[in-house]
Amino acid sequence: MTAAPAPLPVAGERHREADLHAFCTAALRAAGAEPETAEAASRAMLHGSRIGVDSHGVRLLDHYVAVIEGGRVNARPALRFTDGAAAVSSLDADHAHGARAAYAAMDRAMEKAALYGMGAVAIRNSSHFGAAGAYALQAAEKGFIGLAFCNSDSFVRLHGGAERFHGTNPIAMGVPVEGEDPWLLDMATSAIPYNRVLLYRSLECALPAEVASNQEGHDTTDPHAVDMLAPLGGAFGFKGAALAGVVEIFSAVLTGARLSFDIAPMGGPDFATPRNVGAFVMALTPGAFLDETDFNAAMTRYRQTLRASRPAPGDRVMAPGDREWLVAEQRRREGIPIDPATAQAFDRLAARYGLPRPKPVAG
């Protein structure tokens, strides 16, 4: 694949990752979250912020505090696993934060995969879990191939449609590469995620063409005029709409969770009623299918050859995950940026709970 679009430049504050993690955890604890929930939600947000997926990074903190305080998300869930066939489990998340459920589910999937070569967990009664890549990466960093899917409330029109139908319904996959950072795919099946629209609003930037629509289903580049998102693929958006259906089947039909068009809107106004969002995670053990030495050699050769492929003039060929690792290294050195709306939310949360506000790093 060619290089993914670079993260949108975010003017203003930059912070050390440890400081952001501490603040997010403290704010969630102050809102009533148990330690495990606060840690999982913060871990997932920092994954997004670390690798440049700012739409799913710490800018979600204000929303997560609101849904915990409102009661939509159970601040102290009792996760209940039910084993089916040997490699299969179901998780009733008890309306937990989505990251709390998904990290626990992937841990169970990896336990199963270590025994049977693969493990899969269907999740119901969950909530928004942020960037799906966090859970695929969780597996890849431990030597498994990880996959993660999640549905969400309707915000994406069908190809040729003029009303909301699917959620942004992400697909994520992480693959270990011996001695290197994993191969990592994390994509919405919409042209962009809705949180990116919110980020563009905060930054007062125009959207690219063919990624979002107004109330009539017409393309718009004004983030303030967006009523729905377009499916991935532009003129060939039927492919993105079909991929969203794949995620819907794994995440809702197979799990017993609500279909996207039955899920209450993420943005409220009701922050008290649980939404029963669904998700599905899977872990595969490469060595269960072939000798691990052969797998490692083939995966390394595949990615090296991909990176060495002749680029178009002025372009660069990158493997899935390459941009993310470059951004992560840059942000390790320079700090993680936050947009103006997130900075204002930090001010409010710090004042409300009497927390020390994270101090920006020197520019």
**Sequence-ordered alpha helix ranges (H) in 52-172:** 61-70, 98-116, 133-140
Report the DSSP beta bridge partners of residue 187.
Answer: 171
Residue 51: closest CA among 175, 144, 177, 182: 182
CA 244, CA 250: separation in Å to the nearest integer?
A: 10
| CATH no., domain 7-70+320-363 | 1.10.1530.10
CA 97, CA 116: separation in Å to the nearest integer?
A: 29
CA 358, CA 312: separation in Å to the nearest integer?
A: 43
CA 170, CA 172: separation in Å to the nearest integer?
A: 7
- Per-residue model confidence (pLDDT) at position 2: 40
- Per-residue model confidence (pLDDT) at position 322: 98
- At 231, the amino acid letter reads P
| Burial of 229 (C-beta count, 10 Å sphere; 0-12/13-18/19+) | buried
Residue by residue, pLDDT tens for the chain (363 residues) are: 344 555 555 557 999 999 999 999 999 999 999 999 999 999 999 999 999 999 899 999 999 999 999 999 999 999 999 998 899 999 999 999 999 999 999 999 999 999 999 999 999 999 999 999 999 999 999 999 999 999 999 999 999 999 999 999 999 999 999 999 999 999 999 999 887 898 889 889 999 999 999 999 899 999 999 999 999 998 899 999 999 999 999 999 999 999 999 999 999 999 999 999 999 999 999 999 999 999 999 999 999 999 999 999 999 999 999 999 999 999 999 999 999 999 999 999 999 999 999 999 986
> How do the domains of the chain map onto residue ranges?
7-70+320-363, 79-190+231-308
- Domain 79-190+231-308 in CATH 3.30.1370.60: yes
- Per-residue model confidence (pLDDT) at position 172: 98
- Per-residue model confidence (pLDDT) at position 12: 72
